[in-house]
């Protein structure tokens, strides 16, 4: 969601190297979780896999304890678009699962997410189209990211890409700076918010870029009867998320975390 961010700040070479190391662990764990997300597996089992991996490698889950969040993973199924707390829900073929993870290594962190269709894309062809558009849109619009570029350039591009494919952006949900804290500045909008024209990307800034999309919804809703964390698509349709942690470099960017 559009959050109150900490100040944006660039990172030193030493800090970047720690974040790059965090990203290697991050990608390994995301790959394991994506493989293990099968029919018959509960969300709590995936959380336990993450907990054991983090413990083995002397890492911390960046989300656990952040503003009171109780888990290492955000596991969001179907119309739960983001921030899903792992519970005893058992996955079934066709479920549309978002796996969002933060990994902290020696005080510095990465933030990246993937979406999985349990059992394969043929089990949820409607979701497969949304997933393809979201992932392709993220990759296509990276060319608008680099030093001296306004955040608006990428924000406009991703919204245009997704809507041209027939889907929607969940507008209140954004990317953000990261690296030392879970949420740093700047806000990385997924639609052409005029505020994004004022934000110019700098070398050695680290950002989490995450298009968050849906079949028909452009907003989210909450369900207090479930908990005060999970966010759901406003229309009850499928929501999707794919996220990279990026370093702004001399000439463009480097993907520090995120399955490509």
Domains of the chain by start residue, with CATH: 13-257 (3.90.230.10)
Tens-place pLDDT, residues 193-251: 999 999 999 999 999 999 999 999 999 999 999 999 999 999 999 999 999 999 999 99
Q: Residues 146-151: what's their mean pLDDT?
A: 98
Tens-place pLDDT, residues 153-174: 999 999 999 999 999 999 999 9
Tens-place pLDDT, residues 114-128: 999 999 999 999 999
Q: Say if residue 81 is exposed, middle or buried (CB neighbours under 10 Å; 0-12, 13-18, 19+).
A: buried
Answer yes or no: are the C-beta atoms of 94 and 110 closer than 8 Å.
no
Average pLDDT, whole number, for the chain? 96
The answer to whether the pTM exceeds 0.85 is: yes
Give kind and range of the element (H or E) at residue 255.
Answer: strand 253-257
Task: Indicate the pLDDT class of residue 7, thresholds 50, 70 and 90.
Answer: confident
What's the CA gap between 194 and 251, in Å, rounded? 25
pLDDT at position 204 is: 98
Provide the token pair at 154: 């990428």
Nearest to 157 by CA among 165, 8, 76: 165
pLDDT at position 2 is: 45
């Amino acid at each position: 969601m559009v959050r109150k961010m900490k100040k944006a700040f660039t990172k030193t070479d030493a800090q970047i190297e720690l974040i790059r190391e965090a990203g290697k662990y991050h990608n390994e764990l995301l790959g394991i979780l994506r493989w293990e997300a099968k029919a018959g597996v509960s969300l709590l089992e995936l959380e336990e896999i993450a907990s054991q991996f983090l413990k083995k490698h002397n890492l911390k889950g960046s989300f656990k304890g952040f503003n009171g969040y109780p888990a290492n993973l955000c596991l969001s199924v179907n119309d739960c678009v983001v921030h899903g707390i792992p519970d005893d829900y058992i996955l079934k073929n066709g479920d549309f699962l978002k796996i969002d993870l933060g990994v902290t290594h020696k005080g510095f962190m990465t933030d990246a997410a993937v979406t999985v269709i349990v059992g394969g894309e043929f089990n949820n062809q409607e979701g497969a189209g949304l997933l393809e558009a979201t992932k392709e849109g993220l990759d296509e619009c990276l060319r608008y990211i680099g030093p001296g570029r306004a955040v608006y350039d990428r924000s406009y591009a991703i919204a245009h890409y997704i809507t041209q494919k027939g889907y929607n952006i969940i507008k209140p949900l954004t990317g953000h700076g990261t690296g030392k804290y879970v949420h740093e500045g700047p806000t990385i909008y997924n639609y052409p918010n005029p505020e994004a024209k004022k934000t110019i990307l700098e070398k050695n800034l680290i950002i989490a870029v995450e298009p968050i999309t849906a079949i028909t919804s452009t907003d989210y809703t909450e369900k207090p009867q479930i908990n005060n964390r999970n966010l759901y698509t406003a229309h009850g349709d499928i929501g999707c998320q794919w996220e990279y942690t990026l370093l702004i470099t001399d000439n463009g960017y480097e993907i520090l975390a995120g399955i490509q």
